[in-house]
């Protein structure tokens, strides 16, 4: 086998964001763009010689091409083995599980998550470490530094590997194993959840919709929900992964999965509706007649987790990202377990999970998961809900209402201003930051500011500090708003406003109305409309 060293010139824009390097496909198609990044990843790691690397993606446009490049570069760099999902498919949580189960050195997850796919849409590469989770910042910083200095990459001269045939071959001087992308993951789910109880619920006529949005969870949902749990055929919709996700945004929110929402609110709604995103790590949960916000879902799953065999022993702790509502905090308090508030980005949960400080984690951005893998996990959340519904024999709506009656309700909403001009967005944030010290004690729209800061996280496990993770303005009585810039957008800036209000005994208000004062207060304080020139958000969730 010949290894070629190819000269290259660096790109200056390969900074991994919240979740790996994400760019438009034409950017990735530039000469050596993917090669440079993959080589920079390997150059930033130590000790992988002879070890295994997992490679898989969500099946989006350009997935197969990058998988072939990654295999050849891994071979040239001395990996002993590559484990690839058949057809190049591995959901993000399944990739995390495969890395852990087969004790691989790490993995390359090819995805741009919930962003659209296709020749002019998004692609992404993320490196996950041996615990199955996204690489921590010290590695992604090293990767970025390397991308700016790289002068050559190594690639094996090898024929394309047939990734559509399950089995093991020798290629490029290493072992290439093509695996069923679903099998190991489905087995793991069987160890965590009461499949008998869920099966009995379906057998009793329980009806459900799962919308895979033409993305990676299709084959997983078919196998687990329909084949293993006996849900009626047709329960999984849009289950064939397509390179362009059928032209839709594979983002399971109330905008892009509106059809599901409408169905669940309609007269013939099934009992339960759910969806997942491009790479299978996000979830949308809608009960008959009720949308469960991700923040509430985290709290409700945590409160009921013991009903599932995998969590029978109880939770060690709960973690949530800072902009996620404090609903889970009340559950943690009631359970007498720790609650951790981390910056946005699943990678910040890794240390807490590894250290056994948290069992369940969640984010307002529709991510929930546990210590079973080191990524958030869309189908896991759906299955935990099903397990709870099967054991409690109540509707999702009844469970939510009883939850609020016990803990109170955190009304919550996120307003996104997408593709805002970057300079304007940065100006808004820096002006707001400058104002923070003067805010406490002032009154806005009848609300008194109790505290205001730019969130900094002190990781209790490794002592690292992450600053500037979002501006929060907290009011007396537990209401607050948070403003931060998205780390996952690919054009312009996306400004996110998160608003939250705690109500002890009124649970039937309209969310946007319940939050109207806070939304107005945020605009008064931050000047959202004046800075962005937008009268209203692009997306409200």
Catalytic residues: 113
Count of residues binding ligand G6P (CB under 6 A)?
Answer: 14
Region of 154-162, 272-280, 350-358, 426-434 interacting with Zn ion (CB under 5 A): 272-280
Q: Does 370 bind ligand G6P (CB under 6 A)?
A: no
- How many CB atoms are located within 10 Å of the residue 200 CB? 14
Q: How far is the CB of 277 from Zn ion (least distance, A)?
A: 4
C-alpha–C-alpha distance, residues 237 and 256, integer Å: 15
Q: Which does 487 bind (CB under 5 to 8 A by kind): ligand G6P, Zn ion, none?
A: ligand G6P
Measured from the CB atom, the residue of 252 and 287 that comes closer to ligand G6P is 252
Q: How far is the CB of 325 from ligand G6P (least distance, A)?
A: 14
Nearest by Cα to 221 from 383, 385, 384: 383
C-alpha–C-alpha distance, residues 16 and 203, integer Å: 46
Nearest by Cα to 413 from 534, 294, 275, 288: 294
Q: How far is the CB of 472 from ligand G6P (least distance, A)?
A: 14
C-alpha–C-alpha distance, residues 385 and 208, integer Å: 12
229: exposed, middle or buried (Cβ count in 10 Å: 0-12, 13-18, 19+): buried
Measured from the CB atom, the residue of 282 and 347 that comes closer to Zn ion is 282
Q: Answer yes or no: are the C-beta atoms of 316 and 424 closer than 8 Å.
A: no
> Which of 117, 133, 181, 345 is in the footprint of ligand G6P by CB under 6 A?
345
> Which of 85, 241, 294, 367 is in the footprint of ligand G6P by CB under 6 A?
367
User: Within 208-267, which residues bind ligand G6P (CB under 6 A)?
Assistant: none
Hey, which bits of 129-264 come out as E strands? 152-157, 167-171, 174-179, 208-211, 236-237
Give the DSSP letter of residue 231. P
C-alpha–C-alpha distance, residues 112 and 17, integer Å: 11
Q: Does 363 bind ligand G6P (CB under 6 A)?
A: yes
CA distances from 518 to 306, 471, 508, 529, 537 (A): 35, 15, 18, 15, 15
> Which of 19, 91, 297, 532 is in the footprint of ligand G6P by CB under 6 A?
19
Q: Does 496 bind ligand G6P (CB under 6 A)?
A: yes
Measured from the CB atom, the residue of 250 and 537 that comes closer to Zn ion is 250
113: exposed, middle or buried (Cβ count in 10 Å: 0-12, 13-18, 19+): buried
Q: Does 281 bind Zn ion (CB under 5 A)?
A: yes
What sign for the dihedral angle of Cα 393, 397, 399, 401? negative
Region of 291-299, 328-336, 343-351, 515-523 interacting with ligand G6P (CB under 6 A): 343-351
Measured from the CB atom, the residue of 39 and 96 that comes closer to Zn ion is 96
Q: Does 304 bind ligand G6P (CB under 6 A)?
A: no
Q: Does 113 bind Zn ion (CB under 5 A)?
A: yes
Measured from the CB atom, the residue of 317 and 367 that comes closer to Zn ion is 367
Q: Does 488 bind ligand G6P (CB under 6 A)?
A: yes
Q: Which does 277 bind (CB under 5 to 8 A by kind): ligand G6P, Zn ion, none?
A: Zn ion
Give the DSSP letter of residue 541. -
Q: Does 122 bind ligand G6P (CB under 6 A)?
A: no
Measured from the CB atom, the residue of 381 and 399 that comes closer to ligand G6P is 381
Q: Which does 371 bind (CB under 5 to 8 A by kind): Zn ion, ligand G6P, none?
A: none
Nearest by Cα to 295 from 447, 480, 466, 464: 480
Q: How far is the CB of 477 from Zn ion (least distance, A)?
A: 34
Per-residue b or e along 517-529, where b marks 16 or more CB atoms closer than 10 Å to that residue's CB = bbbebbbebbebe
Structure tokens at 91: 């959901």
Q: How far is the CB of 349 from ligand G6P (least distance, A)?
A: 8
Q: Does 32 bind ligand G6P (CB under 6 A)?
A: no
C-alpha–C-alpha distance, residues 283 and 272, integer Å: 13
- Nearest residue to ligand G6P, by Cβ distance, number only: 486
Q: Does 457 bind ligand G6P (CB under 6 A)?
A: no
Measured from the CB atom, the residue of 10 and 487 that comes closer to ligand G6P is 487
Nearest by Cα to 107 from 61, 27, 41: 41
Helix (DSSP H) and strand (DSSP E) numbers for the chain: 18, 27
Q: How far is the CB of 283 from Zn ion (least distance, A)?
A: 10
432 Cβ contact list (under 8 Å, min separation 6): 471, 483, 525, 526
Measured from the CB atom, the residue of 113 and 494 that comes closer to Zn ion is 113
Question: Which residues contact Zn ion (rule: CB under 5 A)?
Answer: 113, 277, 279, 281-282
Task: By CB under 6 A, name the binding residues for ligand G6P.
Answer: 18-19, 113, 321, 344-346, 363, 365, 367, 486-488, 496
């Amino acid at each position: 086998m010949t290894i070629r060293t190819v000269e290259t010139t660096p790109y200056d824009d390969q900074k991994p964001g919240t979740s790996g390097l994400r760019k438009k496909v034409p950017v990735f198609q530039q000469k050596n763009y993917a090669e440079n990044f993959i080589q920079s990843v390997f150059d930033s790691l130590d000790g992988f010689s002879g070890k295994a690397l997992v490679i898989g993606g969500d099946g989006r446009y350009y997935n197969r091409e990058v998988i072939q490049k990654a295999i050849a570069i891994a071979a040239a760099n001395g990996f002993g083995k590559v484990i690839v999902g058949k057809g190049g498919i591995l959901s993000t949580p399944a990739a995390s599980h495969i890395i852990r189960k087969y004790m691989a050195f790490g993995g390359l997850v090819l995805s741009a998550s919930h962003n659209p796919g296709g020749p002019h849409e998004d692609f992404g590469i993320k490196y996950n470490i041996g615990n199955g989770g996204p690489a921590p910042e010290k590695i992604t910083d090293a990767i970025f530094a390397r991308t700016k200095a790289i002068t050559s990459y190594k690639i094996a001269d090898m024929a394309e590997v047939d990734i559509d045939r399950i089995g093991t071959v020798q290629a490029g001087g290493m072992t290439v194993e093509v695996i069923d992308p679903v099998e190991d993951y489905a087995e793991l789910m069987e160890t965590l959840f009461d499949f008998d109880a869920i099966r009995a619920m379906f057998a009793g006529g329980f009806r459900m919709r799962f919308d895979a949005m033409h993305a990676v969870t299709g084959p997983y949902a078919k196998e687990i929900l329909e084949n293993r749990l006996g849900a009626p055929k047709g329960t999984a919709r849009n289950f064939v992964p397509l390179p362009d996700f059928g032209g839709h945004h594979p983002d399971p929110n109330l905008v892009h999965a509106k059809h599901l929402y409408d169905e669940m609110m309609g007269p013939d709604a099934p009992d339960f509706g759910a969806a997942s995103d491009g790479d299978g790590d996000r979830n949308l949960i809608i009960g008959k007649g009720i949308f469960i916000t991700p923040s509430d879902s985290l709290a409700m799953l945590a409160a009921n987790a013991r009903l599932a065999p995998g969590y029978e022993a109880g939770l060690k702790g709960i973690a949530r990202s800072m902009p996620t509502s404090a609903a889970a905090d009340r559950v943690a308090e009631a359970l007498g377990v720790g609650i951790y508030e981390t910056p946005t980005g699943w990678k910040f949960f890794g240390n807490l999970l590894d250290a056994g400080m948290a069992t369940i984690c969640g984010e307002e951005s529709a991510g929930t998961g546990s210590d079973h893998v080191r990524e958030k996990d869309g189908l896991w959340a759906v299955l935990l809900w099903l397990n709870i519904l099967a054991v409690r024999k109540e509707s999702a709506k009844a469970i939510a209402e009883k939850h609020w009656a016990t803990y109170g309700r955190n009304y919550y909403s996120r307003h996104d201003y997408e593709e805002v001009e970057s300079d304007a967005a940065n100006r808004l944030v820096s002006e707001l930051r400058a104002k923070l010290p003067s805010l406490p004690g002032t009154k806005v729209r009848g609300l008194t500011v109790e505290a205001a800061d730019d969130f900094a996280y002190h990781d209790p496990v490794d002592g690292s500090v992450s600053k500037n993770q979002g501006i929060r303005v907290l009011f007396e009585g537990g209401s607050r708003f948070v403003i931060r810039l998205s780390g996952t957008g690919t054009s312009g800036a996306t400004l996110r406003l998160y608003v939250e209000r705690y109500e002890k005994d009124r649970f039937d208000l309209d969310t946007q109305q319940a939050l109207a004062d806070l939304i107005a207060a945020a605009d008064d304080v931050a000047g959202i409309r004046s800075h962005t020139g937008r009268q209203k958000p692009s997306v409200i969730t």
